Structure 1
Amino acid sequence: MTQFADLSSPQVADLLVGDRTPVLLLPVGAIEPHGPHAPLSTDPIISAGMCARAAERLADDPAVRVLVLPALPYGVTHYGEAFPGAVGINAETLHAIVVDVCTSLARQGFTKVVLVNNHFEPEHVTALTWAVDSLAEQGIHTGYLHLLRRRNVERLTEEFRSGSCHAGRYETSLVLADQPALVDTSVMRGLPPLIVDMPTAMREGRTDFVAMGMDQAYCGSPAEATAEEGQSTFDTLTELLIDAIRDLADQE
């Protein structure tokens, strides 16, 4: 059993008296358009998929006991507001939810939580790092797997490294590996490549998909997506997450 919310209250209490260090994973994402082919829930699917795989890999680990918290699917999402389906919360709300959840857990003795995020809109990422800083001020050292750090980016796919990867080959492959029924592959195969350097566009002040030239809310090459690439990428993401789990578990 890897889902925290599936435990009974006495089972949760037992986690704190065992020899293994409990580490909880909080999947984070956003509900927003991912092209005409992929689900609004693409980001939460990827975060939850990483968490599930890491928890399964560490199920029999003698040092850590890893459990996955209920996902936080809503995030700060302004870039996709021109398209139906974008459901956003503001940065203050995201910050408050993460701080409140982690503080509640810490009061019970669960001081080790890793945030696992796959939505990279700048204001959203800033809210999460703000939450980590706020928790640290309370003496709660929360882990955060920041996939945009150079050392992590370099281990991911060419499309991800290019910055032209919203609902493209990278993300669509991951959904095909985890929830293939949610991808409209007939539409996906007909989408032409669209190269948009999103980080550069953001620095230039273009803060929505339409202004970036993404008139169907995607960029990259979704037609090239495969479940095989998605599974390979999940393997890498899971390794990165396990490293973050062990780093946090080792902290006093």
Structure 2
Amino acid sequence: MTAFADLTSPRVAELLAGPRTPVLLLPVGAVEPHGPHAPLGTDRLISAGMCARAAERLAGDDELRVLVLPALNYGVTDFGAPFPGGVSIGPDTLRALVLDVCGSLARQGLRRIVVVNNHFEPAHVGALRAATKEAGVAFLDLLRRANVARLTDEFRSGSCHAGQYETSLVLADRPELVDTAMLRELPAVHVDMPTAMSAGHKDFVEMGMDRAYCGTPAGATAAEGMSTFDTLTDLLVELIREVGRG
């Protein structure tokens, strides 16, 4: 059992009193347009997939007990506003929510928490960085240079919203959620998203993403997704071990 919410209250008490150090993983995502082919919940799906894999990989660890908290499904998604389906919350709301969740757990003695995010809108990431720093919990920041260097060419290019990188990850975990007939017809769209954001573009359309994607979604495969999940899980397990050591 790796889901925290599946435990009973007495089992949590046993967890706190047990010999293994509990580390809790908090997946964070968003409800945001991901092209005409990928689900709105892509970012949450990736975060949850990483957490599940990391918890399973460490299930037999002698020193750590890793459990996955219920995901935070909503985030700051203003860039997707021109398209149907996006649900955005404010940065202050996200920051407060993370602080409240982590604070509630910390007051019970569950202080070792890792926040895992795969939605990269700057205001969203900024809120998570601020919240985790204030809460004194760990944040797997995939935008840090050392982490970016270990991910795929498309991710490193910055042209990777609902492209080959993300779509491959969804195909690896929930292929039924991808419109594969639509997927194979989509042309490559190159948009350097960090540069476009720095230039002041306010949404996907202003960036040149008139169908809410960039990158090469038609190149996505489940095999690439499984390989990328392996790398993402490596990064997460490394951080979990650091957190477990205090």
TM-score normalized by structure 1? 0.97
Aligned residue pairs, count? 246
Aligned twin of 1:20: 20
1:156 paired with 2:151, answer: yes
Q: Distance in 2 between matches of 1:60 and 1:248?
A: 17
> Which of 178, 182, 186 is the aligned partner of 1:187?
182
Q: Distance in 1 between matches of 2:82 and 2:133?
A: 32
Q: Distance in 1 between matches of 2:41 and 2:216?
A: 19
| Cα displacement string for residues 4-38 of structure 1 (whole angstroms, at most 9, x for unaligned residues) | 00000000111111111000000001100000000
Q: What SS is found at the alignment partner of 2:22?
A: strand
1:176 paired with 2:171, answer: yes
Q: Distance in 2 between matches of 1:198 and 1:56?
A: 34
Residue 238 of structure 1 aligns with an amino acid whose one-letter code is T
Output aligned runs, 1:89-128, within 5 Å: 89-128=89-128
Output aligned runs, 1:10-49, within 5 Å: 10-49=10-49
Q: Distance in 1 between matches of 2:183 and 2:73?
A: 24
Q: Distance in 2 between matches of 1:65 and 1:247?
A: 14
Q: Distance in 2 between matches of 1:134 and 1:46?
A: 25
> Which of 220, 228, 233 is the aligned partner of 1:233?
228
Q: What SS is found at the alignment partner of 1:22?
A: strand
Q: Distance in 1 between matches of 2:38 and 2:85?
A: 12
Output aligned runs, 1:202-241, within 5 Å: 202-241=197-236
Q: Distance in 2 between matches of 1:39 and 1:66?
A: 28
Aligned twin of 2:161: 166
Q: What SS is found at the alignment partner of 1:210?
A: helix
Q: What SS is found at the alignment partner of 1:16?
A: helix
Deviation at 1:191, TM superposition (A): 0.1
The percent identity for this pair of structures is 68
Runs of 4+ off more than 2 Å: none
| Cα displacement string for residues 217-246 of structure 1 (whole angstroms, at most 9, x for unaligned residues) | 000000000000000000000000001101
Q: What SS is found at the alignment partner of 1:114?
A: strand
Q: What SS is found at the alignment partner of 2:79?
A: coil
Q: Distance in 1 between matches of 2:159 and 2:133?
A: 29
Q: Distance in 2 between matches of 1:133 and 1:177?
A: 32
Deviation at 1:133, TM superposition (A): 2.2
Residue 249 of structure 1 aligns with an amino acid whose one-letter code is G
Residue 112 of structure 2 aligns with an amino acid whose one-letter code is K
Structure 1: state its 5+ residue gaps: 136-140
TM-score normalized by structure 2? 0.99
Residue 188 of structure 1 aligns with an amino acid whose one-letter code is L
